[in-house]
Structure 1
Amino acid sequence: MTTETTPSLIDNPALFVQWLRDVAPYVHAFRDKTFVIAFGGELIEQGRLEDLVFDVSLLKAMGMRIVLIHGARPQIEKQLSLRGIPSDFINGVRITNVETLEAVKEACGALRLSIEAVFSQGLPNTPMSGSSINVVSGNFLTAKPVGVLNGVDYLHAGVVRKVNRDAIHNQLAQGQVVLLSPLGFSPTGEVFNLSTPEVAAAVASQLHADKLILLSHENLIDEDNNAIAEIDVEQARAMAEQMPLGQFLRLCLTASWVAVQSGVPRAHIVPVDTDGALLLELFQHDGVGTMITKNLLETLREAAFDDLGGILQLITPLEQDGTLVARGREKLESELPFFSVVEHDNMILGCAALYPFPEEKMAEMACFSIDPEMKGMGLGERILAHMEKRARKQGVTQLFVLTTRASHWFLKHGFVAGNVDDLPSDKKRMYNWQRKSQIFIKKIG
């Protein structure tokens, strides 16, 4: 009996090369971009700090500019317990009196030193081998008190008033990682206890960061317990206000939509319990967390000239293995007006062409292609629905396809088997008897 195992990148050089090629576009796109990454103190309690620092160091080595913001809630709770001070929250905000503030400063100071120490590692045979990363902390945040709300004085709890943007940009330009604690300072020297997600949103917004990434110990899931991959700012706002969520996840959602609404292109809420979640979110197309954008990134639209390269990349392998009829680049370019594409994050993931036969009120859907990595995720169904809608606008009542390998898919989606005599007269004359494609027809009128 033999045991089959999934080939690893190490054991399969071809797989490794393909993986490296797949990652390369992201590396190019992210170089010199500013990422604000925030995480709660729970990550440190779970012993995941080294892994996070290793992954952040890898991003830094690829040319990304990193601002790191840590939380400290469990560490603050420990300090309060040691001092016999009760922990008091109202509306998710810690009431921070003088004694509590001392515990907050003690916890944040210790955490900052621990994080800096891990970044200072350079041991052989570790991900930090050969690294030389400087971490800079400082009084980059000006804060003001929350004040008195609904009769409650929050004392030394604060909110960000201003981020010293120029100072942080100068440090990033010099190749430093900027490390921020959830503490802010007033012009008169007062210290305020801040919310980590709120700090992250303010910093990302005022730095005009390219991404805000919030590592959360809670995941955003739908009613069927499936991870939610992408939402827009209005959905994020509604979820934060209406869904029964843990306090930290609610703060992360709020921080995300605030940052995106303020001009940050994308925010990500990433599950901290997944090993390497930060890298998986950034370098895999679907990621592992929830991405928040101003508008959803996936668009289904008619093709433009700039889509030619993406369409060729999709269909060339299918032409080579005989699934699709071969088209030259010139022919494809001339037929672009017939094509529709699915674009996600500037990548073409699917396409199809619609060739009308007005006299018979019929149209052919051809060159129907989907990125192999996206199969089984409903993309084909969305393309089909789009093409049916496009066909109806042209007065088409019957849609037909010619296929050699996808008969079951079309039967499943409402097509019925036909024959050559059912085709429009012009298409009948062009039918390739050597290829012997199966014919399927669907009434859409």
Structure 2
Amino acid sequence: MDKSKLKEQSEVIRQAFGYIDRFKNELFVIKIDDILISNPLFPILIKDLVLLHRMGIRIILVPGARTRIDEVLKTYNVSCSTINGIRISPPESIPFIKMAAFDVSNNIMTMLAECEAHAVIGNWVRARSIGVRNGINYQSSGTVERLQIDILNNVLEDGLIPIFPNIGWSGKGKPYNLSSNELALTLSIELKAAKLFFVTDKGGIHQGEYKIPDGAFVTGEGIISQLNREQAQEFLDLNSSDSYDESLELVSLGLEACNLGVKRVHIVDGHIEGMILKEIFSNRGLGTMIYGNQHENIRKMTHSDIPEVLRMMHPAVEDKILIPRTASDLEKKIKDFIVYEVDGTVHGCGALHKYGQQGEIAAIVVDEMYINAGIGKKIVSYLMEKALAMKLKQVFLLTTQTSDWFSQLGFVQGEISDLPKEKQKTYNYDRNSLVFFYKFPRNNGNRYLSQY
């Protein structure tokens, strides 16, 4: 096997193992377009979902049923119009819509059973009528009113995969046709999901079809790789339209999910084999990811922060984890430093020093009382994002006692000779620090930046 391919495969495996423990016991809500069921790769997608479930990730499935509903309504000569992506559902259409929705869910449950995974379809959704909007009566089309959260949590605790058809019931048992996208959004928010997936037949958002915000990462294939909340809002503003656009709807729902606590929303192409696994377990995303701002507590270091930063550094210096620094050292490099602050108190710091096309991540330290709060990862993530914005090709760091931690974050060990010449001249051979690198993929939005 070609050495470069072997190295790439090894790196993918390392990334995957780094993410497995991170997502154990987390909840993923996955909405799947039913048009994908006829795709030859769909059984592989189901197997991938079962694999996630066996790894300890809790899964909720929300199958869309638009294609199957169209087929059933056509078979029985029932006509329904669609306005702004919502099917107007007269009462006489509901039995056929229910038939189609449960048919899709049953098909998926059968595939899960073939993979020896246990799933259950339930009526856990209380719904109400959309009513009349802008003079249009949506009849038996509904919206989610509430979910039976306690029952759902019990189902998940029992190791089952809940499947949600796009049907909800009123308090008196009247069925309503729901938007699967809205249902998936509500589930992800109410159950505090770590990730919400929209698995579509189109995939991520393509650059050529929309105006994109400055700073948005675009892959070599022209897919917008990721948008933070501010960029997602700007994207919607730039592409505002009176006509319905499903991609804009998904970005809007993704933004709402992130605003209300969901960590990540992924819009992916169900036609690509292994897409969900690649989105979860690789730094390189193939779809479009929307994420919240994990850096809202990070700011530039000021002169008044220096005494507190030196205090934080002292235990790490005593343990030979950090090199000693003076107030004068910090003053000289103050523009390179950032701090992590909560309610006016500094709990962590770090620095990015530029060496030509490379950057050095240095002085990562967190207050001992907050060592397990994930602050260190957020600081490194922020510095990585800063390095990418500066168009650096890679970053490096020197460490004596935290090599395992940086390896888990995707860094790869290198040699002293790989360092910039200027850094090699100041390398302390008595300290004998290990050298680690992280190379940014070319022409690809880097998912490392947004995983924490």
TM range (shorter): 0.5 to 0.7
- Cα deviation digits, residues 200-249 of structure 1 (max 9, x gap): 11111111112111112232122487211221234334434652797332
1:126-137 counterparts in 2 under 5 A?
A: 128=115, 132-137=116-121
Do the aligned partners of residues 291 and 367 (structure 1) sit closer, same or farther apart at CA in structure 2, a change above 3 Å counting? Answer: closer
Q: Which amino acid aligns with 2:390?
A: R
Separation (CA, whole Å) in 2 of partners of 1:334 and 1:293: 37
Once the two structures are overlaid, the 10-residue window that deviates more, 49-58 or 17-26, is 17-26
Do the aligned partners of residues 246 and 369 (structure 1) sit closer, same or farther apart at CA in structure 2, a change above 3 Å counting? Answer: farther
TM-score of the superposed pair, with normalisation by structure 2: 0.65
Separation (CA, whole Å) in 2 of partners of 1:207 and 1:220: 26
Aligned residues: 343
1:116 correspondence with 2:112: no
Give the match for residue 24 of structure 1: 17
TM-score of the superposed pair, with normalisation by structure 1: 0.66
Separation (CA, whole Å) in 1 of partners of 2:417 and 2:17: 34
Give the match for residue 77 of structure 2: 84
The 8 Å contact of residues 29 and 197 in structure 2, kept in 1 or not, is answered as yes
Deviation at residue 53 of structure 1 after TM alignment: 1.1
Do the aligned partners of residues 175 and 202 (structure 1) sit closer, same or farther apart at CA in structure 2, a change above 3 Å counting? Answer: same
Give the match for residue 288 of structure 1: 286
3-state DSSP of counterpart to 1:120: helix
Do the aligned partners of residues 7 and 333 (structure 1) sit closer, same or farther apart at CA in structure 2, a change above 3 Å counting? Answer: closer
Do the aligned partners of residues 406 and 179 (structure 1) sit closer, same or farther apart at CA in structure 2, a change above 3 Å counting? Answer: same
Give the match for residue 380 of structure 2: none
Deviation at residue 84 of structure 1 after TM alignment: 1.7
Residue from 41, 59, 62 that aligns with 2:34 = 41
Give the match for residue 330 of structure 1: 320
Residue from 250, 260, 263 that aligns with 2:261 = 263
Do the aligned partners of residues 115 and 380 (structure 1) sit closer, same or farther apart at CA in structure 2, a change above 3 Å counting? Answer: closer
1:85-100 counterparts in 2 under 5 A?
A: 85-100=78-93
Q: Which amino acid aligns with 1:175?
A: G
The 8 Å contact of residues 198 and 251 in structure 1, kept in 2 or not, is answered as no
Deviation at residue 340 of structure 1 after TM alignment: 4.9
Do the aligned partners of residues 16 and 277 (structure 1) sit closer, same or farther apart at CA in structure 2, a change above 3 Å counting? Answer: closer
3-state DSSP of counterpart to 2:111: helix
Q: Which amino acid aligns with 1:236?
A: A
Do the aligned partners of residues 165 and 330 (structure 1) sit closer, same or farther apart at CA in structure 2, a change above 3 Å counting? Answer: same
Separation (CA, whole Å) in 1 of partners of 2:195 and 2:388: 30
1:280-359 counterparts in 2 under 5 A?
A: 280-295=278-293, 330=320, 332-335=322-325, 337=330, 338=333, 340=337, 352-353=352-353
Separation (CA, whole Å) in 2 of partners of 1:82 and 1:6: 56
3-state DSSP of counterpart to 2:61: strand
1:368 correspondence with 2:368: no
Q: Which amino acid aligns with 2:24?
A: R
Do the aligned partners of residues 151 and 16 (structure 1) sit closer, same or farther apart at CA in structure 2, a change above 3 Å counting? Answer: closer
Give the match for residue 314 of structure 1: none
The 8 Å contact of residues 232 and 293 in structure 1, kept in 2 or not, is answered as yes
Separation (CA, whole Å) in 1 of partners of 2:183 and 2:50: 22
Give the match for residue 62 of structure 2: 69
Separation (CA, whole Å) in 2 of partners of 1:351 and 1:179: 46
Residue from 124, 138, 147 that aligns with 1:154 = 138
Give the match for residue 232 of structure 1: 228
Deviation at residue 63 of structure 1 after TM alignment: 0.3
- Share of identical aligned residues, percent? 26
Q: Is there any run of 5+ residues in structure 2 with no aligned partner, and where? A: 209-217, 341-349, 362-384, 394-415, 429-452
Residue from 382, 390, 398 that aligns with 2:390 = 382
The 8 Å contact of residues 211 and 265 in structure 1, kept in 2 or not, is answered as yes
3-state DSSP of counterpart to 1:35: strand
The 8 Å contact of residues 84 and 244 in structure 2, kept in 1 or not, is answered as no
1:89-238 counterparts in 2 under 5 A?
A: 89-121=82-114, 128=115, 132-218=116-202, 219-223=204-208, 226-238=222-234
Deviation at residue 87 of structure 1 after TM alignment: 3.4
The 8 Å contact of residues 342 and 383 in structure 1, kept in 2 or not, is answered as no
Do the aligned partners of residues 381 and 236 (structure 1) sit closer, same or farther apart at CA in structure 2, a change above 3 Å counting? Answer: closer
3-state DSSP of counterpart to 2:267: strand
Do the aligned partners of residues 48 and 162 (structure 1) sit closer, same or farther apart at CA in structure 2, a change above 3 Å counting? Answer: farther
State the superposition RMSD in angstroms.
4.2
Q: Which amino acid aligns with 1:278?
A: I
The 8 Å contact of residues 204 and 212 in structure 1, kept in 2 or not, is answered as yes
Give the match for residue 276 of structure 1: 274
The 8 Å contact of residues 28 and 194 in structure 2, kept in 1 or not, is answered as yes
Deviation at residue 330 of structure 1 after TM alignment: 3.3
- Cα deviation digits, residues 140-176 of structure 1 (max 9, x gap): 1111111011211101101100011111111101111
Separation (CA, whole Å) in 1 of partners of 2:259 and 2:234: 14
Q: Which amino acid aligns with 1:353?
A: H
Deviation at residue 289 of structure 1 after TM alignment: 1.6
The 8 Å contact of residues 257 and 292 in structure 1, kept in 2 or not, is answered as yes
Give the match for residue 374 of structure 1: none
Do the aligned partners of residues 90 and 22 (structure 1) sit closer, same or farther apart at CA in structure 2, a change above 3 Å counting? Answer: closer
Deviation at residue 184 of structure 1 after TM alignment: 0.6
Deviation at residue 381 of structure 1 after TM alignment: 6.0
The 8 Å contact of residues 15 and 283 in structure 2, kept in 1 or not, is answered as no
Separation (CA, whole Å) in 2 of partners of 1:73 and 1:282: 27
Do the aligned partners of residues 183 and 431 (structure 1) sit closer, same or farther apart at CA in structure 2, a change above 3 Å counting? Answer: closer
3-state DSSP of counterpart to 1:334: coil
Do the aligned partners of residues 404 and 79 (structure 1) sit closer, same or farther apart at CA in structure 2, a change above 3 Å counting? Answer: same
Separation (CA, whole Å) in 2 of partners of 1:183 and 1:6: 52
Deviation at residue 76 of structure 1 after TM alignment: 0.8
The 8 Å contact of residues 171 and 178 in structure 1, kept in 2 or not, is answered as yes
Do the aligned partners of residues 102 and 47 (structure 1) sit closer, same or farther apart at CA in structure 2, a change above 3 Å counting? Answer: farther
Structure of greater relative contact order (alpha carbons < 8 Å, 6+ residues apart): 2
- Cα deviation digits, residues 79-103 of structure 1 (max 9, x gap): 1111122330112210101232222
Deviation at residue 368 of structure 1 after TM alignment: 3.1
Give the match for residue 435 of structure 1: none
The 8 Å contact of residues 168 and 177 in structure 2, kept in 1 or not, is answered as yes
- Cα deviation digits, residues 53-91 of structure 1 (max 9, x gap): 111101001101111100011111111111122330112
**Who wins on radius of gyration, i.e. which is larger?**
1
Do the aligned partners of residues 112 and 380 (structure 1) sit closer, same or farther apart at CA in structure 2, a change above 3 Å counting? Answer: closer
The 8 Å contact of residues 229 and 289 in structure 1, kept in 2 or not, is answered as yes
